[in-house]
Structure 1
């Protein structure tokens, strides 16, 4: 405890511009999950009302994914989604700074752990598809507490927060590697050692690093890293999420990935990835981060490669 606090103090002295955010996370780390959820229940509707961007993108994504919803149903789901997204932000201190025993005790049950254990017993690595659902930082905490675990990491837009976030994600032993060829090489080495790695399956890649594949029936530009890793390592692929039980804790779920993720064709594999993410979202659609611009790129744009911001779905 003293060692952890002193490290955070050194970080904040070195990066004073991150001090306010770090102090907020430190404060919230001591709050019970029930209080954080009550704050999120209040904050979510305020975000919907005051942030045009979050409101607009969330509604656009929900309309694309669930076209049969009525306007009132879509608005209700948008409110619920922003409550959960607010909760995730408020829970960062819990995942990164709370005593490990508290975080462990907040994980109420783990479903499907045998999928990881069996793969490793066979001498195979495990690729965990971790979509932006529930609290993915709690999932990272659990994985790095139980397995040698490696994940790609891109520094935040506010550089001063980088050492704080990195410390939070690495504190249980996770290895963070850069989002470049050197990082990919590290992932391959981890898989060949029969370890677990984490992949963000629903983050839109840069042009040239993905293909278009259906996501809720609409083309979404999807990364093609997965089939390359599978082809070279014969790793097993599962989807992992930390489902929030509001105010009480989290349920970890590991689900078998759609079999198409093992296909050598990039489009087929990407389709399997997106279907796997859809299956995780089905656990509770309100817990997915719908405010992310998942449909930002289109096949038409790919042909002429205009500026990303020229796209008008959002």
Structure 2
């Protein structure tokens, strides 16, 4: 049954990748609209997260943001299908604007290891290809449950001669070793870690369990950190890739100070592009002791 599910998912991805770009965007938006209008668990998670993180919005405004978010989530799915199936050169043409390239170049020239700090904002698959076209990083990722999809992603995410590392003990060690020997890694900083691997710090004014992994690799200036994002352009024609140096506090050897600084930077981008964040993630699943669960 798992093989059949995997084959069906990969088949749908290949179908989406046959569409012209405008149709990719329109199809993704339509999928998201249906997710907004038809009762489903994803919509409820988005509503819970936005209600908690944007209490200043009235109900009507927040529901409009729910709709915009789900349409953008639909676009992420169809856009990512293209990034996974297309030749990488075609995906790179979707990058229409680049900001802060000198920040990455300076970090690469520093002689230290470089940690690219990404998040689930905009389209991280397009970002992955562009980042890998500039250097040869190890990309850290959480493997999907379906083996066929995981095999596809491992192949497609390494088209530029880079490597991938799953979020296993071996994968974590390989990422740490790469940074220590002066290499480059890319890590999504916003998935919720285990309790032992994280600290609770504010994110959108909510206490969120945040990974100590990235700040730990930067602590004391052992490596250089660069924030990475690829946000969708307003006309849906492509993406703006943004590189930015991490704030000084992210180099702190105090894990709470460093994690809080990382969380503030992620929040700044999320508030600038609120509908482009993956609010369907159960980002706040683990709560501080004594606090009621959200989901």
* 1:233 Cα deviation from its structure 2 partner: 6.4
Q: Could you say what the CA RMSD is over the residues aligned between the two structures, in angstroms?
A: 2.0
* 1:283 Cα deviation from its structure 2 partner: 3.1
Decide whether aligned partners of structure 1 residues 168 and 51 sit closer, same or farther in structure 2, where only a CA change above 3 A counts: farther
Aligned residue for 2:272, secondary structure, equals coil
Instruction: Confirm whether residue 287 of structure 1 aligns to residue 268 of structure 2.
Output: no
**Structure 2: gaps (5+ residues):** none
TM-score in terms of structure 2 length: 0.93
- In the alignment, what sits opposite 1:172? 160
Deviations 1:165-201 (A, max 9, x none): 2111112223112323432332223223433211211
- In the alignment, what sits opposite 1:313? 294
Would the aligned equivalents of 1:154 and 1:178 in 2 still touch at CA under 8 Å?
yes
* 1:265 Cα deviation from its structure 2 partner: 1.0
- In the alignment, what sits opposite 1:300? 289
- In the alignment, what sits opposite 2:218? 230
Distance 1:60 1:276 in 2: 22
Greater Cα offset, 110-119 or 246-255: 246-255
Distance 1:229 1:292 in 2: 25
Instruction: Confirm whether residue 256 of structure 1 aligns to residue 245 of structure 2.
Output: yes
Deviations 1:51-104 (A, max 9, x none): 431222111111221111010110011111111111111112211111222111
Decide whether aligned partners of structure 1 residues 78 and 268 sit closer, same or farther in structure 2, where only a CA change above 3 A counts: same
Would the aligned equivalents of 1:188 and 1:233 in 2 still touch at CA under 8 Å?
no
Aligned residue for 1:173, secondary structure, equals coil
Instruction: State how 1:106-255 maps to structure 2 within 5 Å.
Output: 106-231=94-219, 234-245=222-233, 246-255=235-244
Instruction: Confirm whether residue 37 of structure 1 aligns to residue 52 of structure 2.
Output: no
Instruction: State how 1:98-109 maps to structure 2 within 5 Å.
Output: 98-109=86-97
Instruction: Confirm whether residue 23 of structure 1 aligns to residue 8 of structure 2.
Output: no
Tell me how many residue pairs correspond in the alignment.
293
Greater Cα offset, 35-44 or 134-143: 35-44
Structure 1 segments, 4+ long, off by >4 Å, are none
- In the alignment, what sits opposite 1:3? none
- In the alignment, what sits opposite 1:7? none
Deviations 1:90-130 (A, max 9, x none): 11221111122211111102111111110121212221111
Aligned residue for 1:236, secondary structure, equals strand
Distance 2:174 2:57 in 1: 43
Decide whether aligned partners of structure 1 residues 63 and 258 sit closer, same or farther in structure 2, where only a CA change above 3 A counts: farther
**Structure 1: gaps (5+ residues):** 1-14, 303-310
* 1:296 Cα deviation from its structure 2 partner: 1.0
- In the alignment, what sits opposite 1:305? none
Distance 2:110 2:239 in 1: 29
* 1:205 Cα deviation from its structure 2 partner: 0.6
Aligned residue for 1:127, secondary structure, equals strand
* 1:230 Cα deviation from its structure 2 partner: 1.3
* 1:150 Cα deviation from its structure 2 partner: 0.7
Distance 1:300 1:189 in 2: 34
Aligned residue for 1:170, secondary structure, equals coil
* 1:238 Cα deviation from its structure 2 partner: 1.9
Aligned residue for 1:88, secondary structure, equals helix
* 1:20 Cα deviation from its structure 2 partner: 2.0
Greater Cα offset, 223-232 or 279-288: 223-232
- In the alignment, what sits opposite 1:273? 262
